[in-house]
């Protein structure tokens, strides 16, 4: 029996006997995959895709909780690395050693880093571990927060839209659009406390973000145009699993459409970074995304398919726009890596007769063979072309480690990163000695505590001072414009300190 015959076969009640058949007739790693994922099913998430379709996988999923998340082609059996698994998202047939050698790591780097990291299995490594520059991209997390602005035209469409349900189609497509950037396998730099990022010159949008906490890491952003106000308090919780890490978005995202007069709230799905050390690193975000209209009660529920066996389902997103009575009004389908489409539906979720599937959003063409998998917009975020005049000295573009990495100087990037981290520790010591607390410059903590499925977060709000700061600069003829190349990176509230 080959794999094709196996997938089409009727399974008997004695699943164990069938598994033994798999073991004797197919490659060993297939039986390891079945045994491992079956055993772990009881502890997996309860989230399931809305019912529909049929066949072998659908019937089996009905009896095993979240079997879809287990439908991964895993290449296991790394001798000497207990607890690790290398997951091939393309469903290749390489054995574990061949698959494990793929990726950006040299063998000696893999072995050395594993010795450092294995003790953190099960821990939250959000700000616990000092990571090598080898795995970084030349961008700060504050810059990556701004990548969602690339398709801001979708919010212009949503704000101008008279149909409240189509408004949610455009808004949810905007939230989906950032996942192409989020699936990059390089890690952005952790912002220094007090670091900022400013962006202008993009479709009338003004964007400001600031790192307001170091332990735990919390970044806050405010973006505004004539059509919308976007606010996010971004905090994540992680769980290191050996060769992968689960990432839980413990943050709050609010979007206000000015003309429409509505406020939307986002709850995104969790993500998983696979093959951190061994194999080709890749990112998956299985689960539900919920966008709720807090003003009307309408909402969008979209299911991000997990990457399945032989890569099946990867990138796929399906779901519905519901009215306040929780009746489906518009179905949505597509891939976050390509495009999203919509079609009006009946109360059963079936397409209305006489209607057609129409495209709402399409991914812009990206550069070919880009080292860091950047989009054209991501390159603009590192450029001073998107910076306002008299750029803040705390801006991420000015980080010496980021700049050195962008220029390809790994050694300098590593030393500059270590220097910044030591200065941050020195400033913390000085602050604690004086009994002072860090005070954000452009945001302030509110009394709101937002609850997510993965924990609570204290919400920060824009304090209005940045708008005043920019207005003063833009309206004044007496403020001399400074050459950005002469600005030294300085996010410190105290003087730029070094360790004694």
Predicted local confidence at residue 37, as pLDDT: 35
Q: Cβ distance 31 to 21 under 8 Å?
A: no
Poorest-confidence range of 47-61, 154-168, 289-303, 315-329?
47-61
Poorest-confidence range of 47-56, 301-310, 451-460?
47-56
Poorest-confidence range of 19-33, 212-226, 291-305, 452-466?
19-33
**pLDDT level of residue 67 (50, 70, 90 thresholds):** very low
pLDDT tens digits along 264-284: 999 999 999 999 888 889 999
Predicted local confidence at residue 34, as pLDDT: 34
- Give me the mean pLDDT over the 343-362 stretch: 98
- Give me the mean pLDDT over the 197-202 stretch: 93
Tell me what percent of the residues of the chain surpass a pLDDT of 90.
64
What does the angle CA 272 – CA 278 – CA 279 come to, to the nearest 5 degrees? 80
Predicted local confidence at residue 82, as pLDDT: 61
474: Cβ–Cβ under 8 A, 6 or more apart, which residues?
389
Q: How far is CA 340 from the centre of its chain?
A: 18
C-alpha–C-alpha distance, residues 217 and 214, integer Å: 4
**pLDDT level of residue 500 (50, 70, 90 thresholds):** very low
Residue 65 DSSP SS3: coil
Predicted local confidence at residue 323, as pLDDT: 98
Predicted local confidence at residue 153, as pLDDT: 98
Task: Answer with the residue of higher pLDDT: 478 or 460.
Answer: 460
C-alpha–C-alpha distance, residues 249 and 110, integer Å: 28
Going by the DSSP 8-state scheme, the letter that residue 491 receives in this structure is: -
Task: Answer with the residue of higher pLDDT: 203 or 43.
Answer: 203
Poorest-confidence range of 141-145, 293-297, 378-382, 474-478?
474-478
Question: Does the pLDDT value for residue 59 go beyond 70?
Answer: no
**pLDDT level of residue 75 (50, 70, 90 thresholds):** low
Task: Answer with the residue of higher pLDDT: 339 or 279.
Answer: 339
- Give this prediction's pTM: 0.83
- Give me the mean pLDDT over the 160-184 stretch: 96
Per-residue tokens: 72: 């991964």
Would strands 218-224 and 205-213 be described as parallel, antiparallel, or unpaired? antiparallel
Predicted local confidence at residue 495, as pLDDT: 64
- Give me the mean pLDDT over the 400-427 stretch: 95
The mean pLDDT of the chain is: 84
Question: Does the pLDDT value for residue 103 go beyond 90?
Answer: no
Task: Answer with the residue of higher pLDDT: 371 or 22.
Answer: 371
pLDDT tens digits along 126-140: 876 677 888 899 999
Question: Does the pLDDT value for residue 10 go beyond 80?
Answer: no
- Give me the mean pLDDT over the 232-245 stretch: 93
**pLDDT level of residue 65 (50, 70, 90 thresholds):** very low
Question: Does the pLDDT value for residue 88 go beyond 90?
Answer: no
- Give me the mean pLDDT over the 400-409 stretch: 96
Task: Answer with the residue of higher pLDDT: 78 or 340.
Answer: 340
**pLDDT level of residue 12 (50, 70, 90 thresholds):** very low
Predicted local confidence at residue 80, as pLDDT: 60
Question: Does the pLDDT value for residue 376 go beyond 70?
Answer: yes
C-alpha–C-alpha distance, residues 40 and 48, integer Å: 16
- Give me the mean pLDDT over the 322-346 stretch: 98
Tell me what percent of the residues of the chain surpass a pLDDT of 70.
81
C-alpha–C-alpha distance, residues 17 and 37, integer Å: 17
Per-residue tokens: 190: 């952790």
- Give me the mean pLDDT over the 246-262 stretch: 97
Q: What is the four-CA torsion angle of 382, 233, 360, 369, rounded to 10 degrees?
A: 30
**pLDDT level of residue 83 (50, 70, 90 thresholds):** low
pLDDT tens digits along 469-498: 999 998 887 777 788 888 999 999 876 555
Predicted local confidence at residue 104, as pLDDT: 79
**pLDDT level of residue 303 (50, 70, 90 thresholds):** very high
What does the angle CA 148 – CA 196 – CA 254 come to, to the nearest 5 degrees? 40
Half-sphere CA count of 473, side-chain side, radius 13 A: 14
Q: What is the four-CA torsion angle of 77, 80, 85, 88, rounded to 10 degrees?
A: -70
- Give me the mean pLDDT over the 348-365 stretch: 97
């Amino acid at each position: 029996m080959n794999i094709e015959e196996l997938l089409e076969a009727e399974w008997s009640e004695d699943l164990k006997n069938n598994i033994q058949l798999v073991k004797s007739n197919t490659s060993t790693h297939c039986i390891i995959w079945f045994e491992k994922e079956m055993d772990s099913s009881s502890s997996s998430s309860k989230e399931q895709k809305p019912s529909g379709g049929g066949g072998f996988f659908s019937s089996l999923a009905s009896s095993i909780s979240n079997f879809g998340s287990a439908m991964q082609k895993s290449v296991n059996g790394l001798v000497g690395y207990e607890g690790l698994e290398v997951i091939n998202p393309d469903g290749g047939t390489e054995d574990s050693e061949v698959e494990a050698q793929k990726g950006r790591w040299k063998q000696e780097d893999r072995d050395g880093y594993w010795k450092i990291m294995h003790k953190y299995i099960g821990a939250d490594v959000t700000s616990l571990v000092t990571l090598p520059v080898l795995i970084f991209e030349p961008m700060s997390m504050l810059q990556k927060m701004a990548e969602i602005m690339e398709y801001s035209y979708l919010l212009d469409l949503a704000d101008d839209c008279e149909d409240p349900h189509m408004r949610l189609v455009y808004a949810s497509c905007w939230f989906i659009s950032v996942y192409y950037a989020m699936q990059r396998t390089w890690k952005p730099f952790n912002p220094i406390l007090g670091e900022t990022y400013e962006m202008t010159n993009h479709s009338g949008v003004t964007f400001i973000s600031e790192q307001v906490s170091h332990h735990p890491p919390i970044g806050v952003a405010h973006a505004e145009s004539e059509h919308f106000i976007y606010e996010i308090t971004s905090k994540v919780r992680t769980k290191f699993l050996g060769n992968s890490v689960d990432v839980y978005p413990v943050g709050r995202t609010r979007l206000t459409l000015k003309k429409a007069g509505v406020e939307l709230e986002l709850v995104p799905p969790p993500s998983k970074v696979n093959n951190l050390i061994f194999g080709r690193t890749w990112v998956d975000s299985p689960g539900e995304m919920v966008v709720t209209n807090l003003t009307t009660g309408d909402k969008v529920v979209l299911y991000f398919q997990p990457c399945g066996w032989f890569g099946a389902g990867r990138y796929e997103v399906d779901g519905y726009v519901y009215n306040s009575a929780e009746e489906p009004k518009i179905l949505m389908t597509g891939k976050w890596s390509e495009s999203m489409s919509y079609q009006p539906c009946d109360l059963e979720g079936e397409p209305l007769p006489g209607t057609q599937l129409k495209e709402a959003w399409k991914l812009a063409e990206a550069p070919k063979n880009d080292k860091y998998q950047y989009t054209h917009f991501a390159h603009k975020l590192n450029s001073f072309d998107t910076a306002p005049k008299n750029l803040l000295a705390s801006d991420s573009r000015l980080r010496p480690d980021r700049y050195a990495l962008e220029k390809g100087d790994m050694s300098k990037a590593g030393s500059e990163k270590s220097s910044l981290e030591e200065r941050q520790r020195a400033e913390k010591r000085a602050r604690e000695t004086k009994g002072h607390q860090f005070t954000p410059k452009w945001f302030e903590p509110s009394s709101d505590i937002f609850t997510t499925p993965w924990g609570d977060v204290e919400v920060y709000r824009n304090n209005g001072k940045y708008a005043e700061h920019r207005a003063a600069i833009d309206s004044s003829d007496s403020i001399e414009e400074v050459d950005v190349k002469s600005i030294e990176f300085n996010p410190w509230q105290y003087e730029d300190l070094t360790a004694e």
